[in-house]
Structure 1
Amino acid sequence: MSASEDKVEGEEVGRVKANDPDMGDNGLVNYRLVDGDGIGTFDLSTDSETREAVIKLKKRVDFETTKLYTLKLEAFNMHVDPHYLAWGPYKDEATIKISVEDADEPPVFVAPLYTFEVEENAPAGTQVGRVHAQDTDAANNPVRYMIPRYTDVEQFFSVNSEDGMITATRPLDRETQPWHNISVSATEIGGHHQDTKVRVNIRVKDRNDNAPEFATNNEVLMCENVAPGKVIETISAVDKDEMAHRQRFTFSLAPEVAHNQNFSLKDNADSTASVYVLRKGFSRLTQDVYFLPVEINDNGVPPMSGTGTLTVRVCSCDSKDTILSCNVEPYVLPAGLSTGALIAILACIVILLVIVVLFVALRRQKKEPLIVFEEEDIRENIITYDDEGGGEEDTEAFDIATLQNPDGANGFHPRKDMKPELQFPLRPGVHPAANSVDVDDFIKTRVAEADSDPTAPPYDSIQIYGYEGRGSLAGSLSSLESVTTESDLDYDYLRSWGPRFKKLADLYGTKDCSVHEGDDDDDDDC
């Protein structure tokens, strides 16, 4: 019987069966293990139907460890007739040998876990450590090594594919990453190319390559009336490097301020230092901030030193050294004018500006008056008149009212300066010979026409009605009706107006002059 080393726990290995010579119901056979080196590796049970002994794996077998197991098996009859006990015993034994078959298994690393160390800032190519795996199969195929990239994304390390030596590809910084956890896989060459992985932890050993610095960067607040010799601050330091148990820090003022007259520094020999005031009379008006450079040294290998700047701010304090204010702005304000007063003044200025803006906005939104005066009635409408007028009295050709309302240019409108008697009948009781006109009726009629005119402007307007009377004894005064030559004028009637118009009659009258014979003078007799 054989069992492969790739079988798992509980898997059946084989079966055996014992024959009952009686062939009856009382001849039921059962089995048990009595001896052998495989008792701890295999298990035995009886099949209730076939009455066979079933051998199963109790734990996995390894060909490389044990290649053969021996089991001693006993079969016995469970029900024996007492009359035949003397003929016994009614049982039998058998020896079973189980051979382990070799299976193709992945390589096995010598150690389940590897831990290495590498110096900080070591150059590229520095060897970190070696891993080793081998193929335990009978073929003993060679093994190749590699680092899965997902375990070393930034590729800090590489491994030799033949001997498993791990090296660093660049200098490592402990302060950035003190530990690197990667995996190395071993794959057999040949067979089924099975592989296995092992975890590798790499610790970066610290090196003193960082200068110490202040533990905190807070400003130091100092009162203006501070007394000389008073400690205003106790400073300490930290180091990014791995601080050893005996690591200490020392402090001193930088050379450029070692002899200043304001502050001094005392190293307390316990990795702290105290800052003292040397004088009195500090004033924020003179100087409100002081900068004090301090050198910090450690005792590492190699020793490192750094310079930190301590900021000291002068503040206003009360008699109990309670800080009231550390701002310099109140001291540059005008005398007698508080911050509250300035805020009130600014608020008033803002309110005035808002009122002015609102007033301008309301003025712009104010509506235009409904009444349009003649000097404001400027329109862009152009009415073309191409009729030649007949004179001053001919108003048919040019109607000025059309310019005030261009919409009425297309309709017919009666003339407003026609004779009243031609358009309106005379009232009873008025003699037609008087050639008079009822002006009241004339005005009312014109007002009614203006009110009912759909083309009239929608606002109040002034209607002017001019009429030149007819039938005057003086006649027309128009210069257009005057004669054009003086020869057509007759002023002889001026002689009949009396002595007062004699001069005019002599100047403009007709002269009937004749020369008489025998007269010596040249006077004309008219």
Structure 2
Amino acid sequence: MTVTAVDKDDPKMANGMLRYKILSQNPQSPSYNMFTINNRTGDIITVAAGLDREKVPQYTLIIQATDMEGNPTYGLSNTATTVIRITDVNDNPPEFTTDAFFGEVHENRVNVIVANLTVTDKDQPHTPAWSTVYRIIAGDPTEHFSIPTDPTTNEGLITVVKPVDFELTRSYMLTVEAENEIPLARGIHIPRQSTATVSVRILDINESPEFSPNPKTIKLEEGLPAGSLLTTFTAQDPDRFMRQTIR
């Protein structure tokens, strides 16, 4: 920023020639001289590296303007307070709170949340640098699951979008990836995304027997005597792992 002081004396004379200086910085972290000021123009600039919004989101500087070209003995002074807010950049990727998550779901169900994935992100909440996008990168070739994001909690909601069949697959081992809505800031040399595994157990339910083919076409000649066998219907029970008898 640029700070400006006004002196009613003649600006061409020493009485009206101003010089600026920083009297104090609060907090003094990570060093006491994070900023400097051009003593003639009042331009405040950064001098030291280490600005980190996650550690110090705001600095307060006390600025002094002195006439007589800054002469501390003869010059008259006044002070002002400047507030410098540190804005966020995406310098922290989302990190899963654990390496492995677990969930279960009954077969043939859809639009059911199987598991909640949780991450931590040190960037400013509810910004693109904090909001997380989840993707399944392995373990679901037929795309039975999706992971929308809860905008309030930033959790990933593993959801069944296509019915799963216990008789075909009793469990899934998904590999999921999390990254922010926007890329990491330039110069940040840390992994862009975090990965975790999700074990999904499929629960069996009692499914109805099925006729095949259905409908079934029969051709018969007229005049058959009563009691003649026309055809035999056979139904199959999908629940191969349940001991059930069809009637």
Mark the CA change 1:135 to 1:269 in structure 2 (over 3 Å): closer, same or farther: closer
Match of 1:161 in 2: 39
SS at match of 2:44: strand
Where relative contact order (Cα < 8 A, 6+ residues apart) is larger, the structure is 2
Tell me how far apart the structure 2 counterparts of residues 144 and 163 of structure 1 sit (CA, whole Å).
8
Residue aligning to 1:142? 17
Distance 1:246 1:298, change over 3 A: closer
Aligned to 1:184: 63
Deviations 1:324-374 (A, max 9, x none): xxxxxxxxxxxxxxxxxxxxxxxxxxxxxxxxxxxxxxxxxxxxxxxxxxx
Q: Distance in 2 between matches of 1:201 and 1:157?
A: 12
Q: Percent identity?
A: 23
Contact conserved, 2:24 with 2:61, CA < 8 A, in 1?
A: no
Which amino acid in 1 is paired with 2:139?
Answer: A
Q: Which residue of 1 aligns with 2:136?
A: 253
Q: How far 1:239 sits from its partner (Å)?
A: 4.0
Counterparts in 2 of 1:207 and 1:229: CA distance versus 1, 3 Å: farther
Q: Does the 8 Å CA contact 2:184/2:192 hold for their aligned counterparts?
A: no
User: How many pairs does the alignment contain?
Assistant: 172
Inter-partner Cα distance in structure 1 for 2:130 and 2:27: 34
Q: Distance in 2 between matches of 1:252 and 1:220?
A: 15
- 1:91-146 per-residue CA deviation (whole Å, 9 max, x = no partner) reads xxxxxxxxxxxxxxxxxxxxxxxxxxxxxxxxxxxxxx111224445762422221
Question: What 5-or-longer segments of structure 2 have no aligned partner?
Answer: 186-190, 202-247
TM-score (norm 2): 0.51
Deviations 1:53-109 (A, max 9, x none): xxxxxxxxxxxxxxxxxxxxxxxxxxxxxxxxxxxxxxxxxxxxxxxxxxxxxxxxx
User: Could you tell me how far apart the structure 2 residues matched to 1:301 and 1:152 are?
Assistant: 30
1:136–1:152 CA distance, 2 compared to 1 (3 A)? farther
Q: Tell whether 2:148 aligns with 1:268.
A: yes
**Amino acid in structure 1 at the alignment position of 2:127:** A
Higher-Rg structure is: 1
| TM-aligned CA deviation for residue 266 of structure 1 | 1.4
User: Is there any run of 5+ residues in structure 1 with no aligned partner, and where?
Assistant: 1-128, 283-289, 315-526
Q: How does 1:507-526 map to 2 (within 5 A)?
A: none
Maintained 8 Å contact 1:145/1:185: yes
Change (3 A) 1:165 1:268: closer
Contact residue 135 and residue 176 of structure 2 kept, 8 A: yes
1:131 paired residue number: 3
TM-aligned CA deviation for residue 237 of structure 1: 4.8
Equivalent of residue 197 in structure 1, options 73, 79, 98: 79
Q: 2:176–2:197: 8 Å Cα contact kept in structure 1?
A: yes
Q: Deviations over 1:268-327 (max 9, x none)?
A: 365533166873389xxxxxxx8x54212333366995123246599xxxxxxxxxxxxx
Distance across 2 between alignment mates of 1:281 and 1:253: 15
Is the counterpart of residue 309 in structure 1 residue 184 in structure 2? no
Secondary structure of 1:140's match?
Answer: helix
In the alignment, residue 132 of structure 1 is paired with which amino acid? T
Q: Please give the residue correspondences for 1:442-521 in structure 2 after superposition, counting only pairs within 5 Å.
A: none
State how far apart, in whole Å, the 2-side matches of 1:293 and 1:258 are: 6
User: Which has a greater percent of strand?
Assistant: 2
Q: For 2:171 and 2:81, locate their aligned partners in 1 and report how far apart those are by CA, in whole Å.
A: 68
Once the 2 structures are TM-superposed, how far is the Cα of residue 252 of structure 1 from its aligned partner? 1.6
Matches within 5 A, 1:205-354: 205-214=87-96, 216-217=97-98, 220=101, 227-228=106-107, 232-235=114-117, 237=119, 239-242=121-124, 243-244=126-127, 249-254=132-137, 257-258=138-139, 265-268=145-148, 272-274=156-158, 279-280=169-170, 293-300=175-182, 305-310=192-197
* 199 and 297 in structure 1: CA distance in 2 versus 1, 3 angstrom threshold: same
Alpha-carbon separation, structure 2, partners of 1:235 and 1:163: 52
